[in-house]
């Protein structure tokens, strides 16, 4: 447990919070939620919870339950994910450049494995041990995530697989056919977290040196830069320019609405980070004009719209952990909107 605590202590420090001893927290429901870590930033009244839930929707419900029990605080949820089996499959099949597998060829391949053809086995497993990927042993040994929850997570990820077709491969009397894996291979494992408005921590993208960095715990600036590179830090400290651009991309086109909605971020416990696409000295009131001057948005008949250049910028960050805050903010905006506003 010492290594686990050290990793989350460094993570908490990197997002401006201080780790607490507790690994359980009670919500307004009276339920006690077991978590990986709890960290607090007294200055901004943020409570950062590293959840231990296998399901992102359950992690989001933990956030709601705990937030209701401490209305003066701002509760933020992150959820570590140990395994991405779609990513593993993509690495495995990348050398073959296939999204479909012929039954007959698959059976031949399995026969080769039975014969302990080492070259074939290495061709299959080799891509999983590239230096850029973290091995599962490292994750479970150093982070010590609840095994049952991670098994449930893997089962959930695997639910999209065409299991009936897969079983046909092992049935030698079955007719010939193909196994279509395209939907599974294109699956985005963190998409459900982003839709739930929480911050996924894709531990499968951490290298062994990353774990050593967080275990060391003394180079917090380096820890911060590493989670920035993964788009995690920006969930906690959203860049105002990227946030405004995201709001326009989501159809919020009026200048006042863009600025007012973006200004809600610090109120929700997400202080602004550094600007990324406009000059850092740009004031909030000039943010929309700066994005327009950069040709990332354009003013149309019904308000501002995102340009192809803006969509390109969004494409670089849209599927990273930071995007969970955009969903969280949009959900807040929707809640604040009343149907009676339409008839005023």
At residue 177 the predicted structure's pLDDT band, cuts being 50, 70 and 90, is low
Report, as an integer, the average pLDDT of 52-62. 93
Q: Yes or no: say if 272 and 265 are a contact pair by the CB < 8 Å rule.
A: yes
Report pLDDT for 133. 44
Question: Is the pLDDT confidence value at 134 over 90?
Answer: no
At residue 84 the predicted structure's pLDDT band, cuts being 50, 70 and 90, is confident
Q: Yes or no: say if 279 and 287 are a contact pair by the CB < 8 Å rule.
A: no
Question: Is the pLDDT confidence value at 109 over 80?
Answer: no
DSSP 8-state secondary structure symbol assigned to residue 42: T
**Structural tokens at position 326:** 């955009």
Supply angle C-alpha 266, 272, 274, rounded to 5.
175
**Residue whose C-alpha is closest to residue 57's, from 152, 183, 165, 159:** 152
| Least confident residue range of 7-11, 164-168, 238-242 | 164-168
Under DSSP, is residue 85 helix (H, G, I), strand (E, B) or coil?
Answer: helix
CA distance 274 to 243: 11
- Give the rounded percent of residues in the chain with a pLDDT score beyond 90: 59
Report, as an integer, the average pLDDT of 47-75. 95
CATH class of 2-83+196-233: alpha beta
At residue 54 the predicted structure's pLDDT band, cuts being 50, 70 and 90, is confident
CA distance 37 to 19: 7
Q: Do domains 2-83+196-233 and 237-343 have the same CATH topology?
A: no
Whole-number average pLDDT of the chain? 83
On whether the 237-343 domain is CATH 1.10.10, my answer is: yes
At residue 49 the predicted structure's pLDDT band, cuts being 50, 70 and 90, is very high
List the domain boundaries for the chain.
2-83+196-233, 85-133+153-185, 237-343
CA distance 258 to 260: 6
> Which has more pLDDT, 276 or 154?
276
Locus of tokens 């990273």: 320
> Which has more pLDDT, 130 or 87?
87
Report, as an integer, the average pLDDT of 125-129. 49
Question: Is the pLDDT confidence value at 173 over 80?
Answer: no
Report, as an integer, the average pLDDT of 108-121. 56
CA distance 122 to 112: 12
Could you report the per-residue pLDDT of 262-292, keeping only the tens digit for each? 999 999 999 999 999 999 889 999 999 999 9
At residue 122 the predicted structure's pLDDT band, cuts being 50, 70 and 90, is low
Report pLDDT for 334. 73
Report pLDDT for 42. 95
Could you report the per-residue pLDDT of 139-152, keeping only the tens digit for each? 766 676 766 666 66
**Residue whose C-alpha is closest to residue 205's, from 181, 191, 189, 182:** 189
Report, as an integer, the average pLDDT of 57-63. 95
Could you report the per-residue pLDDT of 195-237, keeping only the tens digit for each? 999 999 999 899 889 999 999 999 999 999 999 999 999 999 9
| Least confident residue range of 13-22, 239-248, 275-284 | 275-284
> Which has more pLDDT, 319 or 187?
319
Question: Is the pLDDT confidence value at 344 over 80?
Answer: no
**Residue whose C-alpha is closest to residue 237's, from 272, 287, 200, 266:** 272
Could you report the per-residue pLDDT of 297-314, keeping only the tens digit for each? 999 888 999 999 999 999
Report pLDDT for 113. 55
Report pLDDT for 342. 45
Question: Is the pLDDT confidence value at 294 over 90?
Answer: yes
Report pLDDT for 281. 87
> Which has more pLDDT, 249 or 86?
249
């Amino acid at each position: 447990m010492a290594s686990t605590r050290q990793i989350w202590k460094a993570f908490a420090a990197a997002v401006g919070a201080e780790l607490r001893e507790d690994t359980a927290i009670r919500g307004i429901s009276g339920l006690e939620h077991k978590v990986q870590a709890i960290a607090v930033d007294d200055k901004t009244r943020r409570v950062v919870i590293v959840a231990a839930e296998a399901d992102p929707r359950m992690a989001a419900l933990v956030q709601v339950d705990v937030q209701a029990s401490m209305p003066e605080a701002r509760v933020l949820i992150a959820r570590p994910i140990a395994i991405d089996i779609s990513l593993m499959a993509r690495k495995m099949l990348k050398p073959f450049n296939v999204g479909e597998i012929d039954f007959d060829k698959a059976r031949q391949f399995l026969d080769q494995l039975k014969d302990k053809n080492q070259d074939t086995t290495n061709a299959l497993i080799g891509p999983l041990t590239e230096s850029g990927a973290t091995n599962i042993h490292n994750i479970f040994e150093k982070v010590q995530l609840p095994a049952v929850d991670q098994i449930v997570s893997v089962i959930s990820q695997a639910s999209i697989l065409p299991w009936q077709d897969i079983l046909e491969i092992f049935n030698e009397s079955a007719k010939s056919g193909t196994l279509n894996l395209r939907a599974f291979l294109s699956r985005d494992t963190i998409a459900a977290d982003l839709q739930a408005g929480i911050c996924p921590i894709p531990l499968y993208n951490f290298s062994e040196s990353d774990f050593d960095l967080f275990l060391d715990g003394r180079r917090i600036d380096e820890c911060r830069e590493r989670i920035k590179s993964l788009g995690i830090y920006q969930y906690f400290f959203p860049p105002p320019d990227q946030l405004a651009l995201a709001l326009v991309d989501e159809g919020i086109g009026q200048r006042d609405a863009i600025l007012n909605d973006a200004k809600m971020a610090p109120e929700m416990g997400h202080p602004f980070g550094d600007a990324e696409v406009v000059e850092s000295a740009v004031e909030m009131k000039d943010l929309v004009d700066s994005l327009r001057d950069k040709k990332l948005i354009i003013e149309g008949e019904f308000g501002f719209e995102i340009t192809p250049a803006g969509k390109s910028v969004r494409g670089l960050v849209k599927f990273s952990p930071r995007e969970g805050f955009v969903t969280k903010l949009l959900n807040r905006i929707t809640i604040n909107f009343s149907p009676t506003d339409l008839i005023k």
